[in-house]
A and B are shown apart, each in its own frame.
Chain A
Amino acid sequence: MDSESPAETKKGKSKAPKKAKESILKQKSPAEFFAENKNIAGFDNPGKCLYTTVRELVENALDSAESISELPVVEITIEEIGRSKFNSMMGLVDRERVDAELYDDYETAKARERRLAKEAKVQETQAKNAALGKKVKEPASAKGIKGRGEASFYRVTCKDNGRGMAHDDIPNMFGRVLSGTKYGLKQTRGKFGLGAKMALIWSKMSTGLPIEILSSMRGQNYKSFCRLDIDIHRNIPHIHLHEKRDNQDPWHGAEIQVVIEGNWTTYRSKILHYMRQMAVITPYAQFLFKFISDASDKSVTIRFARRTDVLPPVPVETKHHPSSVDLLLIKRLIAETSKQNLLQFLQHEFVNIRKSLAERLIGEMGPEFSPKMAVKSLTDQQIVRIHQLFRQAKFDDPSGDCLSPAGEYNLRLGIIKELHPDMVATYSGSAQVFEGHPFIVEAGVSVGGKDVKQGLNIFRFANRIPLLFEQGGDVVTRTALKRINWGSYKINQTQDKIGVFVSIVSTKIPFKGTGKEYIGDDITEIATAVKSAIQQCCIQLKSKIVKKMQAREQQERKRNLSKYIPDATNAVYDVLKEMAKSHSSKRKRFEDEDTDILRKVSAQLITKETLKEKLAQHVEKVDYEMALEYATQSGVSEEPREDIYLQLLDANANFLDFHSPIFVFRLFQ
């Protein structure tokens, strides 16, 4: 078996001890390894598989479009395939069950008895409750008892307007695991470089149906069509059909179609959340998401419109920072380098090592090192020495130039577009470093909005992809929950609808756990950066909120003051009445002025109403004065303006013009 791929896994050396006598040394292909351990790539169960397939395809599509600086247009369609349709696709005949007792979901007579008894009981209690006028709970919809065999199948199609793929490369790009374009050191969306390949392995495992790829590159006058599956044992593509077709419209990009087992019911909300959050972080992309089902009421179509045409820069590939490399990496770099001597190697294969520093480093390594020595001749011990020095020596921090953050503008737009908040603040931190890898933290905090629940709503992004799972342990969640004192920014952590958006980009995101779904809370550098980014947003929001509160206070002052008039006057009047009583019975003597008042109270010339009226007048006067003062102090303030993005329309659309001296109103038909 061939082992071309560099990260060839040497797992599965021997079989379990049961077969001790036959411990033949076996090797596993990478494809086999991932097929057996598909959970590490996010393919845990059918539901998650559907979700991960969608996200791998979407992320590939975005990468592809961005790589040619094209504003992404991504169409993703999930089509539910019923059993009979699936069978017909497979060329199987629907077979009726003959031996009913053979099946897992067969209901024995006893079980049936029990079920009926239970149902009768439920009905009885419900009738009783109804008779008592209690709230009647909706009877739990009788869940179809689903057997193991009752799998659901979906056809997932993803079409983009990206670079497309060269005709001859297509089979290898899909049919060979761990061969990819994303293995350099740069900020990438992909996790393992598995992408669509893992989806293909899953489709092979669950349906056995091949993947179909349609692709065209810019300036090509043909479309490539390829239908293939993967030979898992040999890790090579197995091509069914590979041909060139006419490309009528000037389309470039790729359209990928797989049929897999999945579970829409349980992962529906996750997939929709993913699409929504993706739309937040990539407002320059246009997404069309469709779910098609035979039951038309289950079908979903959502369009996430483009809101800006500002594309973040394409992340550039960078060299390694000396403090981030390990022994293996140094050896690989030595093997791959085109430089002859040690000095040149140090100078050119790493960032932040200038010639003078390289010379000093070589001097420090010891007498057996010299700048002119051939780099390929370094012994293992010498490499270890270099590694040691790299760890101990001080280097300048890598710059964040190689990163491509979403950008404050895009983040802000994304938040506004998807959440429609009352207030939003964004902040972009400067580049910082963790273990030799630069990272940038950007944050946005929003208050209010539609479809936002009360309390904290946390949106996490790593390298511009949403993270949806394992929220609890994540650095962002923990920081927002525990280390931010929301009250001090006049934000109510439980009552307000708070959106917290944190996007971290890095050449290497320090994920925790196998699924790469969260960033640990134990990295001080990142935790501090996240905290300060959120705080910066909160500070911006605070001044807005305070202003709003003041304005509201202005509006509500009169009402708030007037609210207390009855209580206050009642209290005063109660005492007056008692005094008047004892005055008239001559039990007590008062001064002249006071006697006058008390007499009037007895004669009902001064009543509760008199006091209320007088107090209300005073409140009115004070309110007027305060309002005047507020108006002179604050002056006329303008809200900062925001650019709006207007979508381009087809130039040759029909329209009517309405002319006015200062503008033209154009009505498209």
Chain B
Amino acid sequence: MADKKKRRRQNPDDDDDGTQPFKHLLKSDEDILKTLKSFPSSSAAASSSSSSSKPLTLADLSLSTTCREVADLSLSSVQSAIETLVLQLTHQILSGQGFSFSVPSRASSNQLYVPELDRIVLKDKSTLRPFAHISSVRKSTITAKILSLVHQLCLKSIHVTKRDLFYTDVKLFQDQTQSDAVLDDVSCMLGCTRSSLNVIAAEKGVVVGRLIFSDNGDMIDCTKMGMGGKAIPPNIDRVGDMQSDALFVLLVEKDAAYIRLAEDRFYNRFPCIIVTAKGQPDVATRLFLRKMKMELKLPVLALVDSDPYGLKILSVYGCGSKNMSYDSANLTTPDIKWLGIRPSDLDKYKIPEQCRLPMTEQDIKTGKDLLEEDFVKKNPGWVEELNLMVKTKQKAEIQALSSFGFQYLSEVYLPLKLQQQDWL
């Protein structure tokens, strides 16, 4: 391993600079590691000092608007919540009034960004979903059906996937997005997290690197999971006993960059844990990232595309998505640093013109909308970067670095970034 690394590091030295610019700036790995080691402790100290010991919760803040949050509920309490609801429905039906659900609204007008918590929360507006109305008859029927299905899961205490749920009545649900959306409504309505409903999504995220954890009792060593890494378990309650000697968590937007880093065993050169959700993050990956951050107290560095969507994905990890804001307390990971690719890197690393893409109208609009978002505004560095992106109207993917060689990312770009502690 060491031999291999040496060879790899020597070869480019011969035909230096020409192919991999800025390489000469790199110090030795030991120096970089030294600077890195000083970082986590300082950041941990900073964070612990700022928020005493316990993280803030909604209850600690006296907000003018009431907000809705959900909690992990035990199976039996989910069951009794459903039963209470069903009994109410039965009373309504028997009295000849039809029935209706009061569903918390997840529309964007009902969302609130709380800067103290640095995440989006749901306000308390609800909409009525009556059966006897042409516009809501379908949805209220689906809601009743999902309630009954979840009730069955509670009785049998088993987990099923969202896909399973959909296939119980394809004719009624028509397509999976409908049953998925109602599932979120139901967990919101019952006041529990989606995982408490015993419904899980298919595995999407993967993790590799210096992490050991138990999955349903089996110990997993993520350095020994081959190149692809370990799939992140869909239900977080199976995961425990996290141990790591990593210095940071590297969050990667795309599969391609993840594979590059995993194959180059980047985590052996700089001890770290590499995570990706292959695009928009699913619930499991977000829960997993939060758990790592909370238990291992490691800084999280994000490597995303230099476009509005990269930043949007970053924001979903950081302060939650609007769709799942009712559970943002469990799903968000505070204090994620934006490592790259940042708009300023395009010129800094002299990324050639042919690798940059012009932003479309839609991109620019998304970028400008993001500038209005509170979670961007709170970080002046981000605002500056985003302004630069909108001004230059250029975007670039992580893969743009491949123009200097496929391994430029793992051999020059990331080490240099780490050495300079260049994150926002």
Binding site for B on A (CB under 8 A): 553, 557, 560-561, 564, 567-572, 574-576, 578-579, 588, 590, 593-594, 597, 606, 610-611, 614-615, 617-619, 621-622
Q: Which of A553, A569, A590, A593 neighbours the largest number of chain B CB atoms within 10 Å of its CB?
A: A569
- Whether the Cβ atoms of B138 and A578 lie closer than 8 Å is no
Q: 9 additional contacts, CB 8 Å, given A579-B87, A617-B96?
A: A564-B137, A564-B141, A568-B131, A576-B90, A597-B87, A614-B93, A618-B98, A618-B132, A622-B132
Contact code string B196-234 (vs A, CB < 8 Å = 1, else 0): 000000000000000000000000000000000000000
Distance, CA A617 to CA B151, complexed state (A)? 27
Evaluate whether A619 and B132 lie within 8 angstroms (CB atoms) in the complex, with A575-B86, A579-B83, A611-B90 already known: yes
How would you classify the secondary structure of chain A's contact residues: helix, strand, loop or mixed?
Answer: helix
Distance, CA A76 to CA B72, complexed state (A)? 83
Q: Which of B96, B131, B138, B147 neighbours the largest number of chain A CB atoms within 10 Å of its CB?
A: B131
Contact code string B85-114 (vs A, CB < 8 Å = 1, else 0): 011011101101111000000000000000
Q: Across the interface, which residues of A come within 8 angstroms of B169, CB to CB?
A: 567
B145 interface contact, C-beta 8 A: yes
Taking the closest CB of chain A, its distance from the CB of B311, in whole angstroms, is: 30
Distance, CA A568 to CA B98, complexed state (A)? 11
- Whether the Cβ atoms of B155 and A614 lie closer than 8 Å is no
- B98 (CB) vs chain A CBs: closest residue: A618
22 CB contacts below 8 A, A to B, read A557-B134, A560-B137, A564-B131, A564-B138, A564-B141, A567-B145, A567-B172, A569-B93, A570-B148, A571-B147, A572-B90, A574-B148, A576-B86, A590-B87, A593-B91, A594-B87, A606-B90, A611-B90, A611-B94, A618-B93, A622-B98, A622-B132
- The 8 Å CB contact of B94, one of A557, A568, A590, A606, is A606
B82 interface contact, C-beta 8 A: yes
Distance, CA A610 to CA B95, complexed state (A)? 11
Distance, CA A618 to CA B94, complexed state (A)? 10
Evaluate whether A615 and B93 lie within 8 angstroms (CB atoms) in the complex, with A571-B148, A572-B148, A576-B86 already known: yes
Distance, CA A150 to CA B132, complexed state (A)? 72
B140 interface contact, C-beta 8 A: yes
B144 interface contact, C-beta 8 A: yes
- Whether the Cβ atoms of B93 and A575 lie closer than 8 Å is no
- Whether the Cβ atoms of B172 and A572 lie closer than 8 Å is no
- B169 (CB) vs chain A CBs: closest residue: A567
Distance, CA A590 to CA B80, complexed state (A)? 10
- Whether the Cβ atoms of A561 and B132 lie closer than 8 Å is yes
Q: Across the interface, which residues of B come within 8 angstroms of A568, CB to CB?
A: 99, 131, 140-141, 144-145
Binding site for A on B (CB under 8 A): 80, 82-83, 86-87, 89-91, 93-94, 96-99, 131-134, 137-138, 140-141, 144-145, 147-148, 151-152, 155, 169, 172
- Whether the Cβ atoms of B97 and A618 lie closer than 8 Å is yes
- The 8 Å CB contact of A579, one of B86, B96, B131, is B86
Q: Across the interface, which residues of B come within 8 angstroms of A564, CB to CB?
A: 131, 137-138, 141
Q: Across the interface, which residues of B come within 8 angstroms of A622, CB to CB?
A: 98, 132-133
Taking the closest CB of chain A, its distance from the CB of B291, in whole angstroms, is: 33
Taking the closest CB of chain A, its distance from the CB of B183, in whole angstroms, is: 14
Taking the closest CB of chain B, its distance from the CB of A229, in whole angstroms, is: 64
Distance, CA A570 to CA B149, complexed state (A)? 11
Q: Across the interface, which residues of B come within 8 angstroms of A553, CB to CB?
A: 134
Distance, CA A597 to CA B138, complexed state (A)? 26
Q: Across the interface, which residues of B come within 8 angstroms of A614, CB to CB?
A: 93-94, 96
- A625 (CB) vs chain B CBs: closest residue: B132
Taking the closest CB of chain A, its distance from the CB of B93, in whole angstroms, is: 5
Distance, CA A246 to CA B147, complexed state (A)? 94
Distance, CA A619 to CA B130, complexed state (A)? 11
Q: Across the interface, which residues of A come within 8 angstroms of B133, CB to CB?
A: 622
- Whether the Cβ atoms of B155 and A572 lie closer than 8 Å is no
Distance, CA A576 to CA B82, complexed state (A)? 10
- Whether the Cβ atoms of B96 and A618 lie closer than 8 Å is yes
- A610 (CB) vs chain B CBs: closest residue: B94
- Whether the Cβ atoms of A575 and B137 lie closer than 8 Å is no
- Whether the Cβ atoms of B94 and A571 lie closer than 8 Å is no
- A566 (CB) vs chain B CBs: closest residue: B141
Distance, CA A467 to CA B358, complexed state (A)? 41
Taking the closest CB of chain A, its distance from the CB of B219, in whole angstroms, is: 38
- A557 (CB) vs chain B CBs: closest residue: B134
Distance, CA A606 to CA B152, complexed state (A)? 21
Q: Across the interface, which residues of B come within 8 angstroms of A619, CB to CB?
A: 98, 132
Distance, CA A618 to CA B155, complexed state (A)? 32
- B140 (CB) vs chain A CBs: closest residue: A568
Q: Across the interface, which residues of A come within 8 angstroms of B131, CB to CB?
A: 561, 564, 568, 615, 618
Taking the closest CB of chain B, its distance from the CB of A501, in whole angstroms, is: 33
- B172 (CB) vs chain A CBs: closest residue: A567
Taking the closest CB of chain B, its distance from the CB of A444, in whole angstroms, is: 33
Q: Across the interface, which residues of B come within 8 angstroms of A579, CB to CB?
A: 83, 86-87
Q: Which of A567, A568, A611, A615 neighbours the largest number of chain B CB atoms within 10 Å of its CB?
A: A568
Taking the closest CB of chain B, its distance from the CB of A598, in whole angstroms, is: 8
Q: Across the interface, which residues of A come within 8 angstroms of B148, CB to CB?
A: 570-572, 574-575
Evaluate whether A571 and B93 lie within 8 angstroms (CB atoms) in the complex, with A557-B134, A622-B98 already known: no
- Whether the Cβ atoms of B93 and A578 lie closer than 8 Å is no
Taking the closest CB of chain B, its distance from the CB of A529, in whole angstroms, is: 26
Q: Across the interface, which residues of A come within 8 angstroms of B89, CB to CB?
A: 572
Taking the closest CB of chain A, its distance from the CB of B140, in whole angstroms, is: 7
